[in-house]
Amino acid sequence: MEWNFRTAEELAAALRAGDVTSAELTDEAITRIEREDKDINAICVPDFDRARAAAHAADRARARGEDRPLLGIPVTVKESYDIAGLPTTWGMPQHRDFVPAEDAVQVSRLRAAGAVVLGKTNVPLGLQDIQSFNEIYGTTNNPWDHDRTSGGSSGGSAAALASGFGALSIGSDLAGSLRTPAHFCGVYAHKPTLGLAASRGMVPPLAPVLPTDLELAVVGPMARTARDLTLLLDVMAGPDPLTHGVAYDLTLPPARHERLGDFRVLVLDDHPVIPTGSAVRAGVNRVADALAEGGARVERHSPLLPDLTEAALLYARLLFSGTAARFPVESYEEVRARAAGLDADDRSLDAELLRAVVLSHRDWIEANNSREVHRHGWRQLFAEFDVVVCPITPTPAFPHDHNPDPRQRRLVIDGVRYPYFDQLVWAGVATMPGFPATAVPAGRSPEGLPVGVQLIGPMFEDRTPLRLAELLEQRMGGFQRPN
């Protein structure tokens, strides 16, 4: 029996029933990776010897009567997480030999839950691209079309799941880095509410490993089903034991509804900054139709929706001002000079990105205050709706484009070329205010590529979009194996 594409939930049941051992699951996963990953390049740092040892330990633990949420289940981990004894490079050549001494808090939680870590998955240079390629580990290909990207920056994890390399993976998301690869590869991912899951140990090489509160970024689960997302989120969620965890215990509220017919959903398929391609629009419409046919209340417009153009510009200011904090001095000064030369009337997204890189602290405070105004607007919207359905990016996975100057790259939407980073605006709809968002498969493009959508829910009500994802999976189907 082939186990590689079984869900984590199914594997757990089989392990409990004695139908398979963790050692058998792990050996089968390793065999598949060794056979298939030469074409995908998802697993950049294998850890097979320790995985086999962990699998045998899991089998012994089960024989003693232990039963933990992930006991004996093979998983992968994004390269950017620290794992003691394995390199953490973030794809940066100057750090190819950096090996941390301790596990990231989320890796520790995986191990405590009994998971068997097969290895680490590929990322872009510095996690700063919508594709996963770097000088150290090379390029990760999309399992559906090797000439296309698997997405970024959790592209290795999404490709691994789509290829049957482990049942679960953990990634991170700042600009769609969980959701975009899931959309491109046809799997599931969940960007949790900002601050819901501790991120200590998911830091660039040589940076202090501290329990800091992140500005926009989160860590989160990836899987091949919605129920598996919930299983893994329950392992990951909770404050850092060094800070809020000293005093707080996490109890996520249940989903607002259990039945599809009780959900109130706002569906969006247009963004004022960038068009939505026909393939993605069709995916959004398929989801909208499934919701309506299931009895959900579906609306296409609401006066409560915050201004998406203003939100996109605000997201750009917050995102790129934070990213620029790690720029080398020479690069920072070059951007400062370019921003100073902009026409004062130029309010394009490209211009705003340049200005954001050199944002003053005073201007950042103003941007942060504006974010709170947007959050309040979203709270009012979520009093009337339970979930917002919208695209993740305007297109399915695009062909590899490794031009070293991203400003020269273009995204082609239905035959028209647009600035490469403009596609981030849909990810920012949830990221800027910090709301949870679940990426779900929504069918295929005419070329046979996966198409996904995101389900955005209220802050700290992560189970609401996750439950809707599960109900949609039951109605529409979910993950399909690449051809």
Would the CA dihedral through 192, 195, 199, 202 be positive or negative? Answer: positive
Cis peptide before 370 (omega within 30 of 0): no
DSSP string, 253-279: PPPS-SSGGG-EEEE----SSSPPPHH
CB 182 within 8 A of CB 174: no
Partners of 265 in the β-ladder? 298, 387
CB 481 within 8 A of CB 448: no
What Å distances lie between residue 451 and 280, 415, 439, 442, CA to CA? 6, 18, 10, 5
C-alpha span between 142 and 311 (Å, rounded) = 31
C-alpha span between 250 and 179 (Å, rounded) = 24
Q: State the Cα angle at 210 between 209 and 211, rounded to 5°.
A: 135
What Å distances lie between residue 354 and 307, 361, 377, CA to CA? 22, 16, 27
Mark residue 326 as left, alpha or beta (left: phi above 0; alpha: psi -120 to 50; beta: remaining): alpha
Of 80, 153, 163, 169, catalytic: 153
Helix (H) or strand (E) holding 148, with range, is: strand 145-149
The number of beta carbons lying within 10 Å of the beta carbon of residue 330 is 7
Of 78, 157, 169, 172, catalytic: 78
CB 252 within 8 A of CB 238: no
Is 191 an annotated catalytic residue?
A: no
Half-sphere exposure of 461 (CA within 13 A, CB side): 18
Q: Give the chain's length.
A: 483
3-state helix, strand, coil in the chain (%, to 5): 40, 15, 40
CB 241 within 8 A of CB 108: no
Of 22, 132, 150, 177, catalytic: 177
Is 172 an annotated catalytic residue?
A: no
Is 120 an annotated catalytic residue?
A: no
Q: Mind telling me the catalytic residues? A: 78, 153, 177
